[in-house]
Amino acid sequence: MASSPEVVINEIPTTSNLPIPVTSKIKLQKGSKTPPNSPWIPTSPWGLKDNKEFSYKNTSFEDVMSEQLANQLQLAEDRKQSADDFSNPVEPDLDIDGGEAHENEDTSNDLLIAQLLQAKMDKEYNQYLTRQENTVNQNSKVRLSYTNYRMDEIFSSDDDDSDTEVEYDADTDAQDPSSNMLQVKSDKGYVMFGKEVVTKHDLEISGRKNTARLEDSFPVEFKTGDARGMDIQLSNKIYNSLKKHAYAEQRRGQRLHEEKEHYTAEHAVDEKTRLILHRLVDRGVIASVNGVVSIGKEAVVIHVDGGDVIGSDSSKNNDEMQNLLIPAECVVKIYKTTLNEFKARDKYIKDDYRFKDRFKKLNPRKIIHMWAEKEMHNLNRMNEAGIACPQVVLLRKHILVMSFIGHDQQPAPKLKSAILSTTQKKSAYEQVLSMMKTLYHECKLIHADLSEFNLLWHDGKVWMIDVSQSVEPSHPHGLEFLLRDCYNISKFFTNLGVKDVPGSYQLFNEVSGLDIPLSDDASFRSAIEVLQNSAEEHAHQGRRKASEILTQSATEKK
């Protein structure tokens, strides 16, 4: 006590006249002269000496150090404080940015300061845990959680330490399967969950949400298992790549399915075709479907056993079928319904006046039916004219049933691959020439795809097949097609070693009966064109006249 500084004050300070809080540290100078009327103006050799505004009154050291005095001062202070609190209650400022208290915070509330400090420490500790979690988990698909060790944070910033957020469709979110979970939809971006502040980026929440979404927003065929039941938390990154994979798989599946459909369509035996075949079996037209004879670009040919229609119950009401004489062995020619082939063929049909009007109105599928119908009509004409060719049994949409050229399910070989003697070769040529003439003059047809591939060798004679594209001579390109047929036949039999086979122009003249001068290629073709144009003009006036003009001009030339 002896060393305590001697402070001279002139009166006991009261709370009302205290210019500054008593708790403030003021250095009082030992032995200084007390300024009048103010205990707080320190006496100093450099201070004010004779300031009249101050009145000094001597107070003993004992007074100053008295406990009683100290208590009085403290009491006065407390009273003032509580009066202030009541009239202006302190609102703790919760607007904390990143855990940092604002500078203008009321620091007089020790409890609040302590809480703020604690919150900051908790936050730092939790951040440390998060870092530890991340280090432990790294790329692992199953996350270890330190949640139980986390401190309860009173305040939390909306720190984004999660993965990039998944973008969800609005409607997906509307029916969010995880809606039974904690929803973080407040404007602040966080909600209080008990004492815990949970943001929408909370790894656990978004992890569980993602798991729940697995079952509901992924394609149904994607097997997710009961991920929700096992409380697996999927990070957004994993969820996103799973979703991507699921939809890629779905698209791949669809593509495979389409390919499969396309494949059956390629082979013409699609669902509709199968149904027609089943009906034909039901009605007794077909006894059994055996095997594929040929898969061509435009059609599939299948060997079938002819049925006994008369004995079939289901056909009793069908006169057409009751009168059918069905050969023991037949083929069904199924026209492909794929459009790429149709495109290649339409030139044969769209300019054929027989089908012209209908062609304009029909959809592609109906046009394919017309191909089958065309083949049927042409075969019938050929049969009437006595040309060796399949006999038509029945037509159903794009399916044509006809007699089989061959024996015991063995189709007759094509001329291309038939093994023939020299005499047979010569005979084959003569037969083909005769067929072509009959076809032109009697059937009023040009094959338009005649070659060693569409001529079969069966029972010592040539059979003509595949006449769906055959056209009348009045067709705008009919004579060109005939010239091409002649070229193929001439070339084939010449190569086969048949003697005296004429060249294509000569053969053309011989088949058509026209006598176009054989001067040169260009003039021959232009003569054909002139004839075609005049034939087409006449075709507009009626079939008879059109075909007449060509046969007429042929007779005139003779």
From 153, 329, 466, 485, residue interacting with Mg ion (rule: CB under 5 A) = 466
Q: Is 501 in the site for ligand ADP (CB under 6 A)?
A: no
Q: How many CB atoms lie within 10 A of CB 75?
A: 11
The size of the chain, in residues, is 558
Of 232 and 301, the one with the shorter C-beta distance to ligand ADP is: 301
Output the smallest distance, CB 299 to Mg ion, in A. Answer: 8
Selection from ligand ADP, Mg ion, none that 476 binds (CB < 5 to 8 A by kind) is: none
In the Cβ-directed half-sphere of 367, how many Cα atoms lie within 13 Å? 24
11-20 long-range Cβ contacts below 8 angstroms, 24+ apart: 11/37, 11/39, 11/57, 11/59, 12/59, 12/63, 12/69, 12/72, 13/39, 13/40, 13/73, 14/76, 15/73, 15/76, 15/77, 15/79, 15/80
Cβ atoms 59, 11 nearer than 8 A: yes
DSSP 348-398: HHHT-HHHHHHHHH--HHHHHHHHHHHHHHHHHHHHHTT---PPEEEEETT
Nearer to ligand ADP by Cβ, of 232 and 415: the residue is 415
- Torsion, Cα 321 324 330 331, to 10 degrees, reads -50
With CB under 6 A as the contact rule, the residue among 414, 416, 525, 543 that binds ligand ADP is 414
Task: Kindly state the smallest distance separating residue 414's Cβ from ligand ADP, in Å.
Answer: 6
Which partner, ligand ADP, Mg ion, none, binds residue 299 by CB below 5 to 8 Å per kind? ligand ADP
Number of amino acids touching ligand ADP (CB under 6 A): 20
With H, G, I as helix, E, B as strand and everything else as coil, classify residue 327: coil
Q: Which long-range contacts (CB under 8 A, 24 or more apart) does 225-232 make?
A: 232/142, 232/207
485 scored as a contact of Mg ion (CB under 5 A): no
Does 329 sit near Mg ion (CB under 5 A)? Answer: no
DSSP-derived secondary structure letter, 163: P
Q: Is residue 470 close enough to count as binding Mg ion by CB under 5 A?
A: no
Asked whether 390 and 405 are in contact (CB, 8 A), the reply is yes
CB 466 within 8 A of CB 454: yes
Residue 406 as a binder of ligand ADP (CB under 6 A): the answer is yes
Judged on CB neighbours under 10 Å (0-12, 13-18, 19+), 303 is buried
402 binds, among Mg ion, ligand ADP, none (CB under 5 to 8 A by kind): ligand ADP
454 binds ligand ADP (CB under 6 A): yes
| Position of minimal CB gap to ligand ADP | 296
282 is catalytic: no
451 binds Mg ion (CB under 5 A): no
Span from 130-138, 403-411, 495-503, 518-526 in contact with ligand ADP (CB under 6 A): 403-411
The residue from 268, 285, 331, 436 that contacts ligand ADP (CB under 6 A) is 331
Sole window of 140-148, 150-158, 206-214, 407-415 interacting with ligand ADP (rule: CB under 6 A): 407-415
Among 454, 469, 512, 553, which residue interacts with Mg ion (rule: CB under 5 A)?
454
Are the beta carbons of 516 and 508 closer than 8 angstroms?
Answer: yes
Residue 166 has phi, psi (to 5 degrees) of: -70, 140
Cβ proximity to ligand ADP, 69 vs 295, nearer residue: 295
- Binding status of residue 466 toward ligand ADP by CB under 6 A: yes
Closest CA to 91 of 110, 77, 112: 112
Residue 341 near Mg ion by CB under 5 A = no
| Pair 389, 382: CB distance under 8 Å | yes
Quick one: DSSP state of residue 315?
Answer: G
Stretch that binds ligand ADP, among 5-13, 265-273, 402-410, 478-486 (CB under 6 A): 402-410
Closest separation between CB of residue 333 and ligand ADP, Å?
A: 6
Residues 266-305 that bind ligand ADP (CB under 6 A): 293-294, 296, 298-299, 301
Q: What SS3 class is residue 291?
A: strand
Stretch that binds Mg ion, among 29-37, 71-79, 461-469, 489-497 (CB under 5 A): 461-469
Contact status: 411 vs ligand ADP (CB under 6 A): yes
Half-sphere exposure in the Cβ direction for 264 (13 Å, CA): 11
Q: Stretches 233-241, 307-315, 404-412, 541-549: which one binds ligand ADP (CB under 6 A)?
A: 404-412
CB 463 to ligand ADP: min, Å: 8
Contacts for 398 with CB less than 8 Å, ≥ 6 apart: 268, 273, 334, 335, 337, 365, 368, 369, 371, 372
Alpha helices in 283-333 (DSSP H): 319-322
**405 contacts ligand ADP (rule: CB under 6 A):** yes
Q: How far is the CB of 453 from ligand ADP (least distance, A)?
A: 6
Strands 329-335 vs 399-403: parallel, antiparallel or unpaired: antiparallel
The catalytic position among 202, 351, 352, 449 is 449
Q: Which spans of this chain sit near ligand ADP (rule: CB under 6 A)?
A: 293-294, 296, 298-299, 301, 331, 333, 390, 402, 404-406, 411-412, 414, 453-454, 465-466
What are the residues binding Mg ion (CB under 5 A)? 454, 466
Active site residues: 449
